Structure formats: structure tokens, C-alpha cells
């Protein structure tokens, strides 16, 4: 009997163990199945007030339509300052969002460009990145001995897909702003910088733009820098209109950059009808001719020079005034002065004829860009009361400016004397204006059949909805050229060759063209605004010790109190007191 009971007990124990193992296996299997099912779904909730982790609809639409894999190399790694580490984290978070939205067709890696121990290898890597189009910055870094050293950082990335490689520099470096504000503006512009490039290199068709020639426009070598950067987004051509109707119709936008000869009525008609058919034009010219080369001899003159474009622009809602701007907030020039009797030395002197134009901060074209360098700029008035045309000032002078009318003498000696500040009593004078809407033709009620010989020409009196930008200074698009013998090398557009400071000329012009041809709503991403949440420096200094004690002793005290409470609760439960 006892033996039978033992066998039954062993059998029951075996069944119990089997059931326990079966339960364990089922639980593990259930966890694996549940985890697999959950992994098929993605739930991401952005709880931030400014929705900094939420991609826009245009961005998602572009990412979802990607067909080829994209690989991104980010050169922001290694020993970098804390602000740049925050920027790195933001870049990584944005790339993670792009990767998920694209169905994991986007992959990336962070690379330290200064990783090599050998100096020659590092220099080779730096030159490689410079050749690719990434712009470095120099920062002061503290060493272990308490000194400081210069470090080169490349806050940019290379986007690669299908044999195409495009550089993206995402750090804003406005020297008039603090480092925290520059980092914030860089984070604000990350989505735009990334998706603009990805949209371009993955598009089935590429927009075409053209520089108009035939009226002594700025030479090609002096627009080489902006042409090279425009080529990242567009197919760029140059050519003569020749009075041929429809010759511009295949271009999404055209650029009229610094003409010096008058336009014929036939060329004007071609431009007018191009606009009537929905074409976009970036106008850059002045009505006062100043020969800058003559300044090398100490003085030059400014003369009124009409270009026969006045009636065209007037019908569209803008007028360039034949006056030259002077501004106290200007770019300095270098002058050779006498010192100590016979010794000459070069000193910087403010040159009021080179205003530093202020971009408005409430439009996608000009938001968060540096000031724009100009030379002998004119002014713009908006005219007409046509409600179908919207007008927006993009660039203007400072609060301390004035204008001079030609004919006028301009002498370098003016830079040697302090200007009379009371005479600079004009402010915020417009220099660049955006016009949007439906434009009337400047050739309405005119015998156009006498202007063109094309008998198949069909005249339009009113435009399709379109855009144009008028800039009263052609030098904004002109890059300097370094010449050595027969070789000419274009320099960076908007860069001061003496200080190395880069102004916003290139960014402004790229944004102008991208805005005018944008049909996906990408440019609106530049209006994105994130809040800068900085610590109160005064409170940090005054309450430093208090918060250090709270952060160090607070967790320890909480753990001790929790331990005492747990011990007391167990004692009360099992001993009754």
C-alpha cells in the first residue's frame, strides 16, 4: 500500500513538473509572439510643445516615395564641445526619424574626421572634405595642461545615393548671434537642409534655370560660385534671348544678373510672355553705374544708367530708384595710410557704400541667414494697388542709412573721415522685394506684332500665378576672382577675403531660387521655430550649492526612506507591532 502511494506521489510530482515546464514554455512563446507582433507596429508620440520630433507632411511624402537606398556620412564626431554634441544628438534624432519614415531606406554613420593619429593623414582627410564641399570651423579647445588648442570641426554630411554625392553644411554660423542661438537655428533648419537635398537627388526630373546673357551681364567667372551651388539642385544654362518668343519656356526660372546695356523691346516681350506663362524671374541690377575699378586710383563717379526695364517692373509692382545707399552698418575696406612720418600700414575703415543688408526673419527665404553684403546698392519701391499681387520686403538697410542721387563723386578719402551720424536719418530702406500673384502684361494694348516676327506667337494679357524677386544690387550675386597669370579662380560668394567672414549672399540666392520653383511645400520648413530654453545664469550661480545637494543627497535619502518604510511594513505584518 505504501509503495503504491509513493508511486502515485512520484507520478503527481512528474505531472506537476511537466505542467510547470509547459507553462514556462507557453509563457516564453507568448512573449516572443507578442514581441514579434508589436515590432510590426510603430507608435511614436511627440510630446514636445513645439513638435520638434514630428516630420512635416511634405517630408513624409518625399521619404515614402524613395526608391533607392541612401547612405549619409556625418562628420560630427569625436571630442567636440558640448553645444556641438547637442547638435550631433539632434542630427542623429532627425536621421532616425528619416530612416523610419523612409521604410529604412536611409542609413547613416558618424565619422570623426580627426581620428587619424598621424598629422599628414588628418590633413589629407581635411583636404578631402574641403574638396567635397564641406565647410570647416575652428574652435578653441582646452587641453589637459590648462592651455588651449585650435580644433577643426566639419559640421556637415555627405549624402550618397545611386552614384550621386552631395554635401550638406548644417551649422549656421552667424557671427552676430550667440553660439546657443546658432545651434538652435541649425536644429530648426535640419529637416529642410536634409529633405531639400534628398528631394533633389531622388527626383525623376531636375528643374532647369538659365542666366540671361546678351546685355553685358556679370561674366560667368564672377557668378561661378553661385552657379556651382545651384547645380546641386538644378540644371544651369546660360544664353541669349535673341528676341525669340518661347525660348525660355523650358526653364523653371531665369536670372537677370547685372545687365549694363539696355534691353530691346523684343527681349522684353520674351521675358514678359515667359512670366505670363508662369515663369519665374530673379532680377538683380542697379540703375546707377559705379565703376568700382576706378576706385583703385582714389575716386570714381556714379552716373544714372537706365536699362529700359523700368516699365516692365512698374507693371509688375516694383520700381528700382536711381539712388545709391549709404549705411553706417557696413563692410569695412582696407586703406593704406601713413604712420610715423614715412611708414605706411593697412588699416580697416568703414565704407558706407557697402551696406550689410538685414534679412527679414518672418519669411522662409531669409529666416536665420546672415546679413547680406552689397556694394553701391539702389533702393526699391513697391507700386500699384493691384490686390492680386502680394509684395514682401526681403532685405533692407539698417536704421542709420541715407541715399545719394547721381551724378556723384565717390572718393576713398571719405573713409578717412567719420561720417555725420545725424545725416543718416533713413531706416529700413528696401533693397530686395518678393512679388507673388497674377501679373498683368506690360505689353497690353501695344502692337506686339510689330515687335516680333513670329506669326504663330500667341499673346497673353495676364499671367498664371507665379513669383519673381527684384534685387536692387547685382553685386550680391558677384563673387570675387583671384587671378594668377592666365588662371582665374572664383572665391566663395559673400566671403570677406580679409577676415574670412561669410555673409548670407549664397544662402539668400539659393533660397530665392528654391522658393520660386518649390511646388512641394519644402521651403515652408524654413519657417519652423523652436524655443530656446536656456538656464537662468543668475539662478545657476546663486543656487548652485542647493541644487548640487538636492541632486547628490536627494536620491540617497529617498532610497533610505524607502528601505525603512519597507522594513517597518514587513515587521508590522509578521510580528504585529
- Among the ranges given (161-170, 304-313, 321-330, 457-466), the one the predictor scored with the smallest mean pLDDT: 161-170
Mean pLDDT of 55-60: 86
DSSP-derived 3-state class of residue 215: coil
Give 8's contacts (C-beta < 8 A, 6+ positions apart): none
The span from the CA of 238 to the CA of 241, in Å, is 10
Mean pLDDT of 412-417: 84
Size of the chain in residues: 577
Range name among 105-119, 136-150, 417-431, 524-538 with the lowest pLDDT average: 136-150
Model confidence at 288, in pLDDT bands (50, 70, 90)? very high
Distance from C-alpha of 263 to C-alpha of 85, rounded to nearest angstrom: 53
Question: What is the 8-class DSSP label of residue 55?
Answer: -
* Nearest CA among 317, 292, 286 for reference residue 304: 286
Specify the pLDDT at position 225: 93
Q: What is the DSSP string of 241-292?
A: -TT-TTTTTT-SEEEEE---SPPPHHHHHHHHHHHHTT-EEEEE--SEEE-G
The cell numbers describing 562, all together, are 524607502
Instruction: Provide the 3-class DSSP secondary structure of residue 559.
Output: helix
Query: Which residues face 152 on adjacent strands?
Result: 138
- Give the whole-angstrom CA distance, residue 181 versus residue 266: 50
Distance CA 504, CA 274 (A): 29
Rounded Cα distance between 216 and 211, Å, is 12
Cis peptide leading into 184, omega within 30 of 0?
A: no
Which of 42-51, 287-296, 299-308 has the largest mean confidence? 299-308
Confidence of residue 324 (pLDDT cuts 50, 70, 90): very high
2 pLDDT higher than 60: no
Q: What is the pLDDT of residue 211?
A: 96
**Is residue 307 over pLDDT 90?**
yes
User: Residue 209: phi, psi to the nearest 5?
Assistant: -130, 160
H helix runs in 287-405, sequence order: 310-316
- What whole-number distance in Å separates Cα of residue 275 and Cα of residue 466? 7
Portion of the chain with pLDDT greater than 70, in percent: 89
What angle in degrees, to the nearest 10, is found between the helix axes of 82-101 and 57-64? 60
Q: Is the backbone peptide bond immediately before 407 cis, with ω within 30 degrees of 0?
A: yes
Q: Given this model, what pLDDT does residue 263 score?
A: 95
CA 205 distance to own-chain centroid: 23
- Domain covering 57-200 in this structure, CATH number: 3.40.30
Residue range 348-372: average pLDDT?
91
Beta strands in 430-540 (DSSP E): 430-437, 466-471, 481-484, 487-490
341 pLDDT more than 70: no
DSSP string, 127-179: HHHHHHTPPPEEEEEE-TTS-EEEEEE--EEEEEETTEEEEEE-----TTS-H
Is pLDDT at 303 greater than 80 in this prediction?
yes
Q: What is the pLDDT of residue 38?
A: 64
End-to-end CA distance of the chain: 49
Query: Tell me: the pLDDT tens digits for 438-467?
Result: 999 999 988 888 888 877 888 899 999 999
- Higher-confidence position of 530 and 393: 393
Q: Can you tell me the mean pLDDT for 82-86?
A: 84
Does residue 562 or residue 470 have the better pLDDT?
470
pLDDT, the chain, mean: 85
Output the pLDDT for position 436: 95
Strand duo 379-382 + 318-321: pairing: antiparallel
Q: So what's the pLDDT on residue 44?
A: 63
pTM exceeding 0.75: yes
Provide the pLDDT for residue 202.
Answer: 86
Cα separation of 312 and 290, whole Å? 23
Q: Is the pLDDT higher at 340 or at 125?
A: 125
Is beta strand 466-471 parallel, antiparallel or unpaired with respect to 330-339?
A: unpaired
For residue 477, give the nearest of 251, 222, 208 by alpha carbon: 222
Structure confidence at residue 266 as a pLDDT band (50, 70, 90): very high
Average pLDDT over residues 67-83: 87
Q: pLDDT by residue (tens digit) across 4-39?
A: 555 655 656 667 777 777 887 888 888 888 777 766
Read off the DSSP letter of residue 360.
P
Q: Are 439 and 466 in contact (CB under 8 A)?
A: yes
pLDDT above 80 (res 43): no
> 73-82, 234-243, 302-311: which range is least confident on average?
73-82
Output the CA angle 139-140-145, nearest 5 degrees. Answer: 150
Where exactly are the structural domains of the chain?
57-200, 239-527, 537-575
Amino acid at each position: 500500500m505504501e509503495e503504491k502511494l509513493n508511486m502515485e506521489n512520484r507520478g503527481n510530482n512528474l505531472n506537476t513538473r511537466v505542467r510547470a515546464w509547459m507553462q514556462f514554455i507557453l509563457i516564453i512563446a507568448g512573449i516572443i509572439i507578442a514581441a514579434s507582433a508589436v515590432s510590426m507596429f510603430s507608435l511614436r508620440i511627440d510630446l514636445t510643445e513645439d513638435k520638434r520630433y514630428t516630420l512635416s507632411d511634405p517630408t513624409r511624402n518625399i521619404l515614402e516615395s524613395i526608391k533607392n537606398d541612401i547612405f549619409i556620412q556625418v562628420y560630427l564626431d569625436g571630442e567636440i564641445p558640448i553645444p556641438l554634441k547637442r547638435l550631433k544628438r539632434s542630427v542623429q534624432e532627425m536621421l532616425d526619424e528619416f530612416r523610419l519614415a523612409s521604410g529604412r531606406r536611409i542609413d547613416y554613420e558618424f565619422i570623426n574626421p580627426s581620428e587619424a593619429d598621424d598629422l599628414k593623414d588628418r590633413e589629407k582627410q581635411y583636404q578631402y572634405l574641403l574638396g567635397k564641399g564641406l565647410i570647416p570651423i575652428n574652435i578653441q579647445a582646452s587641453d589637459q595642461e590648462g592651455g588651449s588648442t585650435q580644433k577643426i570641426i566639419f559640421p556637415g554630411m555627405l549624402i550618397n545615393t545611386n552614384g550621386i554625392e552631395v554635401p550638406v553644411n548644417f551649422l549656421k554660423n552667424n557671427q552676430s548671434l550667440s553660439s546657443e542661438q546658432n545651434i538652435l537655428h541649425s536644429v530648426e533648419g535640419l529637416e529642410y537642409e536634409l529633405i531639400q537635398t534628398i528631394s533633389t537627388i531622388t527626383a525623376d526630373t531636375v528643374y532647369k534655370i538659365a542666366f540671361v546673357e546678351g546685355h553685358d551681364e556679370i561674366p560667368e567667372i564672377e557668378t561661378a560660385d553661385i552657379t556651382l551651388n545651384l547645380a546641386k539642385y538644378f540644371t544651369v544654362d546660360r544664353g541669349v534671348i535673341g528676341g525669340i518668343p518661347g525660348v525660355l519656356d523650358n526653364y523653371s526660372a531665369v536670372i537677370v544678373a547685372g545687365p549694363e546695356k539696355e534691353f530691346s523691346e523684343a527681349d522684353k516681350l520674351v521675358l514678359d510672355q515667359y512670366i505670363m506663362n508662369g515663369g519665374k524671374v530673379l532680377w538683380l541690377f542697379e540703375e546707377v553705374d559705379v565703376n568700382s575699378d576706378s576706385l583703385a586710383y582714389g575716386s570714381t563717379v556714379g552716373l544714372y544708367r537706365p536699362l529700359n526695364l523700368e516699365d516692365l517692373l512698374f507693371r509688375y509692382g516694383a520700381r528700382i530708384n536711381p539712388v545709391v545707399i549709404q549705411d553706417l552698418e557696413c563692410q569695412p575696406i582696407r586703406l593704406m595710410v601713413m604712420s610715423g612720418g614715412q611708414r605706411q600700414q593697412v588699416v580697416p575703415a568703414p565704407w558706407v557704400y557697402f551696406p550689410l543688408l538685414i534679412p527679414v526673419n518672418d519669411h522662409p527665404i531669409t529666416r536665420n541667414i546672415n546679413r547680406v553684403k552689397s556694394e553701391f546698392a539702389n533702393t526699391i519701391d513697391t507700386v500699384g494697388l493691384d490686390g492680386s499681387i502680394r509684395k514682401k520686403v526681403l532685405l533692407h538697410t539698417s536704421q542709420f542709412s541715407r541715399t545719394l542721387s547721381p551724378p556723384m563723386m565717390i572718393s576713398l578719402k571719405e573713409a578717412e573721415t567719420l561720417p555725420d551720424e545725424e545725416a543718416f536719418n533713413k531706416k529700413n530702406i528696401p533693397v530686395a522685394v518678393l512679388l507673388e500673384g497674377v501679373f498683368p502684361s506690360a505689353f497690353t494694348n501695344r502692337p506686339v506684332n510689330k515687335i516680333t516676327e513670329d506669326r504663330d506667337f500667341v499673346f497673353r494679357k495676364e499671367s498664371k500665378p507665379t513669383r519673381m524677386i527684384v534685387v536692387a544690387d547685382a553685386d550680391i550675386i558677384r563673387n570675387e576672382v583671384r587671378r594668377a597669370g592666365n588662371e582665374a579662380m572664383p572665391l566663395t560668394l559673400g566671403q570677406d577675403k580679409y577676415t574670412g567672414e561669410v555673409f548670407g549672399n549664397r544662402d539668400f540666392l539659393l533660397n530665392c531660387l528654391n522658393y520660386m520653383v518649390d511646388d512641394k511645400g519644402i521651403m515652408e520648413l524654413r519657417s519652423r521655430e523652436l524655443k530656446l530654453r536656456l538656464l537662468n545664469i543668475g539662478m545657476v550661480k546663486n543656487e548652485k550649492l542647493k541644487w548640487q545637494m538636492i541632486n547628490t543627497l536627494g536620491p540617497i535619502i529617498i532610497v533610505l526612506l524607502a528601505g525603512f518604510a519597507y522594513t517597518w511594513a514587513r515587521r508590522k505584518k509578521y510580528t504585529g507591532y
